[in-house]
């Protein structure tokens, strides 16, 4: 029997970001967490979102190309020559 | 915001007076003061290490705005030059990093405006920025008039891994993630890049992009959900 207060899964997935951001109010968060206890699918979904964020955080950054980097350093030397010692 | 900066070597702070020690970009005001002093004194080593530490992130953020790698490189170079011009007047009301990334944001918007007409920075989210429909396909759920479990999963997601570190971020996966991010509408891409890839806080991103907190969250929600969805099948199969 479905509890009338149970958060359906198709609503939970729309609240995931608010949950992770701490933007749900107390009762919303309670409903959210109560649903997670009994719903393996939603637990897996939340974990997928968490893993997605974790992978995004681990993407390596590329470097500025050597000519671009040199251009920037030359601009520094020109600036230093123009401005004098600070 | 220090997630991808090199760890500040606080215990060796006295050693930064040594000109041969590269500057450690600071994430707290005390280190900013030392770094500023060295920059204003014209120490190239300090400036070069800053460029090397931050340009990768700046490139990534710029690509999120302007899309093209070539334009992004121009934007990053233009930003550093603007930083040099503004260095004397920088008052330290924000951190050095926030200031540099704010200049980057303005520089990118200027480039966008020159390349094509861009609406003024507005908090109002247009429908095309949000994308249409729910973040998970409707057919993944039982219908609202299901007799026992309305709105519950019909085909639930599976765990991608038992532990987060089991997911190997190899070239293939990195490529897929980068593609998914590149496909996002511009402001979703910008928010996701700044928040989840670069580690800026919600407040910082709102300030950088001129967004209210609620709208920033909506854009983040749409973006994260889209990236998750694009990876789901690939990672669910891999996990088996």
Residue range A3-47, pLDDT digits in tens:
557 899 999 999 999 999 999 999 999 999 999 999 999 999 999
Question: Which residues neighbour B147 within 8 Å (Cβ) at sequence distance 6 or greater?
Answer: none
pTM: 0.79
Q: What does the alpha-carbon distance between residue A7 and residue A31 come to, in Å, rounded to a whole number?
A: 6
> Which among B139, B132, B236 is positioned nearest to A10, based on CA atoms?
B139
- Regarding predicted confidence, which is higher, B120 or A66? A66
At B233, is the secondary structure helix, strand, or coil?
helix
Q: What does the alpha-carbon distance between residue A2 and residue B202 come to, in Å, rounded to a whole number?
A: 36
CB atoms under 10 Å from CB of A47, counted, come to 16
Question: Which residues neighbour A30 within 8 Å (Cβ) at sequence distance 6 or greater?
Answer: none
Enter the ipTM.
Answer: 0.86
| Partners of B110 in beta bridges | none
Question: Which residues neighbour B28 within 8 Å (Cβ) at sequence distance 6 or greater?
Answer: B8, B95
Distance from CA of B137 to the nearest CA of A (A): 9
Within 14-43 of A, beta carbons closer than 8 Å to B belong to: 14, 16-18, 21, 23, 39-42
At B199, is the secondary structure helix, strand, or coil?
coil
Q: What pLDDT shows up at residue A4?
A: 54
Burial class (CB in 10 A: 0-12, 13-18, 19+), B114: exposed
DSSP, res B10? G
Residue with tokens 């729910």: B134
Q: What does the alpha-carbon distance between residue B180 and residue B68 come to, in Å, rounded to a whole number?
A: 16
**In angstroms, how far is the first alpha carbon of chain B from the final one?**
36
Predicted confidence pLDDT, tens digits, chain B (240 residues): 434 443 333 333 333 333 333 343 444 556 788 899 999 999 999 999 999 999 999 998 998 888 788 899 999 999 999 999 999 999 888 889 989 999 999 999 898 888 765 555 666 788 778 777 899 999 999 999 999 999 999 999 998 987 777 778 899 999 999 999 989 988 899 999 999 999 999 998 998 888 999 999 999 999 999 999 999 988 987 544
Q: Answer yes or no: do A39 and B57 touch at CB < 8 A.
A: no
Q: What pLDDT shows up at residue B22?
A: 38
- Could you give the angle at which helices B44-66 and B29-40 cross, rounded to 10 degrees? 110
With beta carbons under 8 A apart, name residues in chain B contacting A77. 44
Q: What pLDDT shows up at residue A18?
A: 97
Q: With contact defined as beta carbons under 8 Å apart, do B12 and B82 qualify?
A: no
Nearest CA in chain A to B200: A57
Q: Answer yes or no: do A57 and B3 touch at CB < 8 A.
A: yes
CB-side exposure of A84: number of CA atoms within 13 Å?
0
With beta carbons under 8 A apart, name residues in chain B contacting A44. 156-159
Q: What pLDDT shows up at residue B132?
A: 75
Burial class (CB in 10 A: 0-12, 13-18, 19+), A67: exposed
């Amino acid at each position: 029997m479905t509890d009338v207060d149970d958060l359906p899964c198709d609503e939970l997935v729309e609240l995931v970001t608010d949950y992770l951001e701490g933007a749900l109010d107390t009762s919303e968060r309670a409903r959210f967490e109560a649903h997670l206890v009994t719903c393996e699918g939603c637990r897996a979904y939340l974990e997928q979102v968490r893993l997605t964020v974790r992978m995004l955080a681990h993407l390596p950054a590329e470097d500025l190309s050597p000519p671009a980097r040199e251009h920037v350093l030359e601009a520094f030397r020109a600036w230093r020559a123009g401005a004098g010692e600070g | 915001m220090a997630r991808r900066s090199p760890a500040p070597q606080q215990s060796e702070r006295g050693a930064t007076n040594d000109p041969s020690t590269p500057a450690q970009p600071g994430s707290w005001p005390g280190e900013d003061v030392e770094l500023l002093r060295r920059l204003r004194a014209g120490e190239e080593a300090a400036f070069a290490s800053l460029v090397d530490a931050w340009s990768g992130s700046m490139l990534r953020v710029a690509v999120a705005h302007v899309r093209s790698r070539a334009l992004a490189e121009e934007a990053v170079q233009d930003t550093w030059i603007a930083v040099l011009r503004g260095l004397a007047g920088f008052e330290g009301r924000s951190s050095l990093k926030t200031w540099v990334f704010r200049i980057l944001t303005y520089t990118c918007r200027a480039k966008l405006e020159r390349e094509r007409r861009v609406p003024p920075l507005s908090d109002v989210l247009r429908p095309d920025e949000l994308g249409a429909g729910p973040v998970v396909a409707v057919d993944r759920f039982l219908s609202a008039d299901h007799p026992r479990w309305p709105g519950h999963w019909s085909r639930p997601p599976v765990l991608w891994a038992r532990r987060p570190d089991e997911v190997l971020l190899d070239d293939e996966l990195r490529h897929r993630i980068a593609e998914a991010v590149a496909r996002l509408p511009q402001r979703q891409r910008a928010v996701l890049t700044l928040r989840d890839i670069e580690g800026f806080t919600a407040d910082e991103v709102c300030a950088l992009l001129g967004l209210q907190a609620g709208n920033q969250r909506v854009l983040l929600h749409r973006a994260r959900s889209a990236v998750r969805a694009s990876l789901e099948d690939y990672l669910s199969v891999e996990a088996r």
